[in-house]
Structure 1
Amino acid sequence: MLALYRFASRWPLGLLHALGAALGWLSWAASPTYRRRITEHARGAGYRFDEVRASVAHAGRMALETPRLWFGAPVPVEWRGAEHLDQAYAARRGIVFMTAHLGCFEIVPQAASARHHAEYGPVTVLYRPARQAALAEVVAMARRREGLETAPTTLAGVRQMIKALRAGRAVGVLPDQVPPDGLGVWSPFFDRPAYTMTLAARLIQQTGATPLLGWGERLPRAQGFRVHILPFPEPLSADLDTAVAQINRAMEGLIRQRPDQYLWGYGRYKTPRALTP
């Protein structure tokens, strides 16, 4: 598996995106469940399928660009809102990057690290260890990049992130990722109850870190990526449930910027085992 990823990492980004788009549509054609989920999730957010149909190809592009981002040469990156990032680092209070399953979310910590790790230290990214041994090896190798550290979804990983924030460094999380049983609360997401992680809110509340929104827009014709950095739209509440709802609303705002690049097929509304809404 690792050898395959390294081989694919040498391919041009344009070829990976072209193959990825085909893979995305093949997956859509082969799975009625996947098709239904995309349609239902988009409709729940107020979109017709024709308004988000490009997301099918973008899901495949995301899958096949990953080897290049993990093991290949750097890709072109341009910035929007970099001043918010620079100001947050200069404040040395720590930064909690939050992004959705939108566009290329892998590029956000990479770009932030390349810009600032020499002065402010690495970016720590939360990740869920893969269950398959071969894929776990790939992920472990990929995350060992200069300026990047990883924190597993365990108590030790949480402590690692808190330590990084208190040292004035940055951490990255995907708040729209469904957490394991006991690590989330039910909160509205596009007006539908979704089991939502509390970790992002707790990290900000406990450390006083600066919350920032970030996402990586995939540019046309494989020209690279545009990293958007935005301040959090409102002061984060000290009440945990309220703060989680605020973060969900912020994720909705990001998705509405480019709904055609969101992973509508992601199982956002699944129920962890032993839980009921």
Structure 2
Amino acid sequence: MRWLFRFFSWWPLAALHALGGALGWLVWSLSPRYRAQFRAHVAQAGLPFVLARPAIAEAGRFVAELPKLWMRPSSQSCLANVQVEGRLHAEQAFARGQGVIFFGPHCGSFELGPQALAELYGPITAIYRPARKAWLARLERIARNRAHLTVVPASLNGIRLMNKALKANHAVAMLTDQVPPEGLGIWAPFFGRPAYSMTLAARLALQNGAVLLPVSCERLSSGRGYVLKIWPAVTGLESAGKSDMLHAVTLINQAIEAIVLSQPGQYLWGYARYKTPRKEAL
């Protein structure tokens, strides 16, 4: 399968996005379950469907651009077609000297985000859950590990490495709107409905005093590139105390909601955000 990724990596970004848009609509037309879940999540967020409708094609574009993002030569910068906003927030966060936690949702090009952040503010340690298929897991590991970007699996050792990075005033990155395994999260409101939410970002911030910085990477139309936006730091965490995990996670979920509402046409509304967590040891 690696040769197939290599083949598509040579395509222009605009062509990949055109192909991906068609793929997104194909999946929409073939899966009643996907359509129902998509619509239910949009309604839960209190949005009219028309605002989220572009996300049908954007989901396909996310898949189609992966070969280009994963097969990019290590000598080639990914920032050539990336506009960056909010750099001051990152500069202020690093100035505190206690590390930075970049986090975001399944929105836009969340695969490109860590690569761009690593070039700007590396070294960065990013946590991920390896794919179940062996060939894809190998490809993920090879493609995601880059200069100034180290990916670690969701494991106790991975968490230790993230703590070590924060203590050195480096950055870590993660998607905080994915459902963690049972025992590794807490039920917290997400668009007004309880959703099993990861506690890792909150725990790392409370333990290390690290700054929580929301990040989005919006995909522009017609292959024109991306906008990487660093949002203002999450505030109010100090008042939560190390024991009030629900309050801390709720603040993180609220930051995610703000990003999604600003880019409803780029969020993966079909993701099973409200599912019951699976039983799995970390």
TM-score band w.r.t. shorter chain: over 0.9
Residue 265 of structure 1 pairs with residue 270 of structure 2: yes
Q: Secondary structure at the match of 1:193?
A: strand
Query: After the TM superposition, which residues 169-188 of structure 1 pair with which residues of structure 2 at under 5 Å, given as runs?
Result: 169-188=170-189
Question: What's the CA shift for 1:233?
Answer: 4.1
Aligned to 1:232: 233
> Could you list the runs of 4 or more consecutive aligned residues of structure 1 that deviate by over 4 angstroms after TM superposition?
none
Aligned to 2:248: 243
Aligned to 2:85: 80
Q: Secondary structure at the match of 2:257?
A: helix
Query: After the TM superposition, which residues 147-162 of structure 1 pair with which residues of structure 2 at under 5 Å, given as runs?
Result: 147-162=148-163
Query: After the TM superposition, which residues 158-237 of structure 1 pair with which residues of structure 2 at under 5 Å, given as runs?
Result: 158-236=159-237, 237=240
Q: Secondary structure at the match of 1:84?
A: helix
Q: Which sections of structure 1, spanning at least 5 residues, go unmatched?
A: none
The 8 Å contact of residues 2 and 137 in structure 1, kept in 2 or not, is answered as no
Letter in 1 for 2:66: T
Query: After the TM superposition, which residues 52-201 of structure 1 pair with which residues of structure 2 at under 5 Å, given as runs?
Result: 52-72=52-72, 74=78, 75-117=80-122, 122-201=123-202
Question: What's the CA shift for 1:145?
Answer: 1.1
Aligned to 1:50: 50
TM-score, normalised by the number of residues in structure 2:
0.93
Letter in 2 for 1:66: L
Tell me, in whole angstroms, the C-alpha distance in 2 between the residues paired with 1:250 and 1:114: 24
CA deviation profile, 1:169-208 (whole Å, cap 9, x unmatched) = 1000111010011100111111111000000100100111
Tell me, in whole angstroms, the C-alpha distance in 2 between the residues paired with 1:232 and 1:116: 16
**Further displaced range: 233-242 or 140-149:** 233-242
Aligned to 1:33: 33
Question: What's the CA shift for 1:88?
Answer: 2.0
Tell me, in whole angstroms, the C-alpha distance in 2 between the residues paired with 1:198 and 1:24: 31
Q: Which sections of structure 2, spanning at least 5 residues, go unmatched?
A: none
The 8 Å contact of residues 121 and 171 in structure 2, kept in 1 or not, is answered as no
Letter in 2 for 1:198: T
Aligned to 2:9: 9
The RMSD of aligned alpha carbons is: 1.4
Tell me, in whole angstroms, the C-alpha distance in 2 between the residues paired with 1:178 and 1:131: 16
Tell me, in whole angstroms, the C-alpha distance in 1 between the residues paired with 2:213 and 2:135: 34
**Further displaced range: 233-242 or 49-58:** 233-242
**Further displaced range: 209-218 or 83-92:** 83-92
CA deviation profile, 1:139-177 (whole Å, cap 9, x unmatched) = 011112111101111111111110111111100011101
- Alignment length, in residue pairs? 271
Q: Residues 95 and 233 of structure 1: is their aligned pair in 2 closer, same or farther, counting only changes over 3 Å?
A: closer
Tell me, in whole angstroms, the C-alpha distance in 2 between the residues paired with 1:204 and 1:181: 21
Question: What's the CA shift for 1:91?
Answer: 3.2
Q: Secondary structure at the match of 2:182?
A: coil
Question: What's the CA shift for 1:105?
Answer: 1.2
